[in-house]
């Protein structure tokens, strides 16, 4: 019999858990919300109330040997990213994660999710708001005053400085998630261009043409944009 862990028991997660049980699987349902755990405890193999961002608590659930884990907290971006990271660290071979936006999905893939699902997109609901301004490729509101911003380096206020010197960490409390840069090289007698993605390092010096994917509170990201993106 296959075993699954469903992390996050909101409407989407609880539906996934119940369908898996109906198909004959064993399901461990996990959520930090006591009411959600109580509501599903009779419908799954076991229902556990823990902090889903705590590695030790997740290990104690005995989920190391499940066939797959499904992370269902799509609207809680930070929690879903950390939970996915921890589940891969624990050693779960297959992690499927719910995402609300393409940027959220990109991060989840970076931290190890093998599959991404978009329940809101699949039913045609609009889950992201895009604002266009010079230097800002995408700005997505994720609720709880949290945003993902994709910023292209075009100005002298950004280029030539390290992430640390730009004050992302200490001053603005913004977390750079991915650095995307375009590299040109010769290929078959012609010049080809490819995109390389790197995990950020505080000492990384940004260059013109780089794109920064950052995560932070709306006020902090807007403050950084006002100062450095014109």
In tens digits, the chain (230 residues) has pLDDT values of 889 999 999 888 888 888 888 888 899 999 999 999 999 999 999 999 999 888 899 989 889 889 999 999 867 888 899 899 999 989 998 999 999 888 888 889 988 899 888 875 553 332 222 223 344 445 555 555 677 777 888 766 788 888 888 888 888 888 887 787 777 666 666 655 556 767 778 888 888 888 888 888 888 888 888 777 75
Residues 6+ apart with CB under 8 A from 65: 3
- How much of the chain is in helix, strand and coil states, percent to nearest 5? 25, 30, 40
Indicate whether 48 and 97 sit together in one domain.
Answer: yes
Indicate whether 16 and 71 sit together in one domain.
Answer: yes
Triad 69, 199, 97: Cα angle to 5°: 20
Q: Quick one: which of 221, 208, 218, 211 has its CA closest to 151?
A: 211
Is residue 128 in a domain?
no
Interatomic CA distance for residues 96 and 112, integer angstroms: 9
| Domain span at 201 | 136-228
pLDDT of residue 184: 66
Indicate whether 141 and 116 sit together in one domain.
Answer: no
Number of structural domains in the chain: 2
How many Cβ atoms from other residues are within 10 Å of residue 45's Cβ? Answer: 16
Indicate whether 149 and 65 sit together in one domain.
Answer: no
Both structure tokens of 123: 């039913």
Is residue 28 in a domain?
yes
Q: Which residues of 158-171 are buried (b: 16+ CB within 10 A; e: fewer)?
A: beebebeebbbeee
Indicate whether 24 and 108 sit together in one domain.
Answer: yes
Do residues 212 and 176 make contact, with C-beta atoms less than 8 angstroms apart?
Answer: yes
pLDDT of residue 201: 81
Label residue 86 left, alpha or beta by phi (over 0 means left) and psi (-120 to 50 means alpha).
alpha
Last residue of a domain, one of 60, 95, 122: 122
pLDDT of residue 44: 94
pLDDT of residue 125: 32
- How far are the Cα atoms of 178, 185, 189, 206, 221 from residue 192, in angstroms, in the given order? 22, 5, 9, 21, 34
């Amino acid at each position: 019999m296959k075993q699954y862990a469903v992390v996050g028991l909101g409407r989407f997660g609880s539906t996934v858990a119940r369908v898996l049980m109906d198909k004959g699987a064993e399901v461990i349902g996990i959520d930090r919300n006591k009411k959600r755990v109580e509501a599903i405890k009779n419908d799954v193999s076991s229902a556990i109330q823990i902090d889903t961002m705590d590695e030790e608590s997740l290990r104690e659930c005995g989920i190391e040997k499940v066939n797959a884990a499904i992370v269902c907290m799509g609207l809680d971006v930070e929690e879903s990213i950390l939970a996915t990271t921890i589940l891969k660290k624990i050693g779960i071979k297959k992690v499927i994660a719910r995402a609300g936006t393409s940027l959220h999905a990109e991060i989840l893939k970076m931290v190890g999710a093998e599959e991404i699902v978009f329940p809101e997109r699949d039913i045609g609901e609009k889950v992201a708001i895009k604002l266009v301004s010079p230097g800002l490729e995408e700005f997505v509101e994720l609720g709880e005053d949290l945003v993902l911003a994709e910023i292209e380096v075009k100005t002298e206020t950004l280029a030539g400085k390290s992430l640390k010197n730009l004050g992302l960490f200490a001053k603005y409390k913004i977390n750079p998630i991915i650095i995307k840069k375009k590299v040109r090289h010769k290929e078959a007698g012609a010049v080809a261009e490819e995109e390389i993605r790197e995990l950020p390092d505080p000492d990384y010096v940004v260059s013109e043409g780089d794109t920064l994917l950052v995560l932070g509170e709306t006020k902090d990201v807007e403050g950084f944009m006002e100062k450095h993106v014109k």
